[in-house]
Amino acid sequence: METFVGKSIFQKLNVGPIFYFEKQENLVKRETIEDPEQEILRFQTAQKEAISQLEEIYEKAKLEVGELSASIFQVHSMMLLDEDFLDSIYHMIRENHVNAEFATGKTAENFYTMFSEMDDEYMQARAVDVKDIAERVISILQNKGTDFSFVTEPVILVAEDLAPSETVQMDKSKILGIVTRHGAANSHTAILARMMNIPALFGVDIQKSWHNHLAVVDGYEGRLTIDPSEEYLSKVEIKRQEEEQKKKLLSEMKGLETITKSGQKVHLYANIGRVSDVAQALLNDAEGIGLFRSEFLYLEASDYPTEEEQFQAYKRVAENMGGKRVIIRTLDIGADKQVDYFHLDKEENPALGYRAIRICLENIPLFKTQLRALLRASAFGTVAIMFPMIISVEEVRRAKEILEAVKTELKNLRIKYKDVEVGIMIETPAAVLISMELAKEVDFFSIGTNDLTQYLLALDRQNPKLDSFYNPHHKAVLTAIEMTVKSAHEQGIWVGICGELGSDLALTETFVKMGIDELSVSPSFIYALREKIRNID
C-alpha cells in the first residue's frame, strides 16, 4: 500500500481501478509553405471547425454542469476569435512562411508562458485554456481527435494533465475520480470536476505502472492510496457510509431557515468570483451573494472592460439570483491581483500600496464606469455596492459623492436604476478602530477576515514561510470582529463576514454569539454551516 498526496479539488471519497490515460501528443513540425494566404485559409477552416466542436461540447456541458459553468466553452470560442491571438498566428505564417500547425503551437506557447508568469493565480490557470484551444485546432489540422469511448467501466482516471474540454467529454458515470500531475485549483478543469461532483487531486507524482491497480481517491484528505489493504478498505467503506449519511442530512437542510434554537437568524450568502459561479450558489441554497469579486472582470480582460460588458455581467447575476441580495464589491485590483494594462508601478509593499478604493478615488472615470454599470444592473434585481480597503470616513464620503453624481447622470439620461444599499469592507485595523464613525455613513459592514488578519498580525499571507506564525484565531482578530459588530449594531446597521473565517465551523458559535447577521462563504460550505447554526442553543 502506497499513499501519494495532492491538492484536493472536491471533497468526496471513491474506490476503483486506475486507468492511466496517455495523451497522443500533437507532434508539430515546422514546415516551409509557398502560399501564406492559402495556409491562413487552411487555419481559418480548422478554426471554424474548432468553434463548431466547442458549441457541441457547450451543449453537452449544459446538461452535465449547467449553463453557467458550460459558458467556459463559449469563452474558449471567444479566445479562438481573439485578435491578438489571431494576429500573432497570421503574422508568423506571412512573415516566416511557416505551416498553420507550427504558427498555432508557437503562438499558444507564447501566450501560455505569458499567462503562467503572471502573479495572479487565476490568470496563471488560464494558461491551460490557451493550450486547450490550440491543441484542438492543431488536432483538426492533423485530422486527429480525443476519444474517451475506451472508458467502459468506472475508473479513477490518472493523467499528466487534462484539458477542460477533455474533462467534460467524459461520461461522468464512468469516472470515479481524476488524478493529475499538473493542474491548478482555479483552472477550468478543476471547476468542472467540482461541478460534476468528481473527487480530483492535482499535483500528484503519478506513475504509468499504476494502470489497473486498485486505488482510493480521498478528496477530504487529499490522498491517493494505491493497492489499499483490507483494513484500510474497511475504514474507507465506513467513511463512505458516513459521507452518504451526512449528504442526506445536509440535503434535508435545503430550504430551511438558518436560525438557532433560540430564534437568532443568520443569513448564509455565497462568495463568487464570476458569473458562472452563480450556479453553485443556487445549487447550495445560498440566500444571496455576499461577495461578488468584480475584479475578475478586469483580470480576465485584455483591456479595461467597458460599461456595457460590466453591466451585462452584473445584470446576469442579479437576474439569476431572482431578487435575492447581490453584494458587488467594487474594483479591488492591486497587491496580489495585478493587471498589466493598469500599468501600476512596482511597489516594495503592494499589500499596503496603491490598490482597491485608492485606485478608484484617483481614477474617477474608471470608477464611474463601474458605478454606472452597477446602478444599471440594480434595475434587474437587488444589488448592493460595497467599497473595499477603507481606512477613513473621508474615503467613504468621497465614494458616496461619486456614486450620487453617477445617479444624477443616469437620471438625466432617463436610465432606470434602483436605490442600492451601500456598504464597506472592514479589513484594516483603521476601519475597526473608527467603525463607530464609519457605521454612520453606510448601510452595512462586511468583515474581510483574510486581509484583516494579515494587517493585524503583520503577517504577509502570501508568504509560505510565515504559515507557522499565521493564526486566524488570534485573540486580536476575534476582538476586532467583536468590536466591529458592536459598532455596527449600535448604529443600527447589519454586519457580515465574507473572509475565510466565515466558513470555519470551530468559530461559528462564537460569531453567532457576537451577533453576526450574515456569513458569506464558498457555496459548498453553506449546508454544513446551516446545520451547525440550527444546532446552536
Q: Active-site residues: which are they?
A: 188, 498
Question: What is the H or E stretch that residue 346 is in?
Answer: none
Distance of alpha carbon 430 from alpha carbon 427, whole angstroms: 9
Q: Which residues of 355-388 are buried (b: 16+ CB within 10 A; e: fewer)?
A: bbbbbbeeeeebbbbbbbbbbbbbebbbbbbbbb
All cell numbers assigned to 397: 464620503
Query: Where does residue 467 fall: left (phi above 0), alpha (psi -120 to 50 degrees), or beta otherwise?
Result: alpha
Distance of alpha carbon 78 from alpha carbon 171, whole angstroms: 26
Distance of alpha carbon 393 from alpha carbon 408, whole angstroms: 23
Sign, CA dihedral 408-410-414-417, equals negative
The letter for the amino acid at 252 is E
What is the 8-class DSSP label of residue 261? Answer: T
3-state secondary structure of 518: strand
Distance of alpha carbon 272 from alpha carbon 191, whole angstroms: 12
Sign, CA dihedral 154-159-164-165, equals negative
User: Which residue in the block uniquely carries the three cell numbers 501564406?
Assistant: 36
| Angle, in degrees to the nearest 10, between helices 67-79 and 121-141 | 70
All cell numbers assigned to 201: 487531486
With contact defined as beta carbons under 8 Å apart, do 175 and 153 qualify? no
Nearest Cα to Cα of residue 292 among 425, 107, 427: 425
Greatest C-alpha distance within the chain: 81
Question: What is the H or E stretch that residue 256 is in?
Answer: none
Residue 436 CA, chain-centre distance (Å), reads 33
The letter for the amino acid at 417 is Y
CA dihedral in degrees (218, 222, 224, 229; nearest 10)? -60
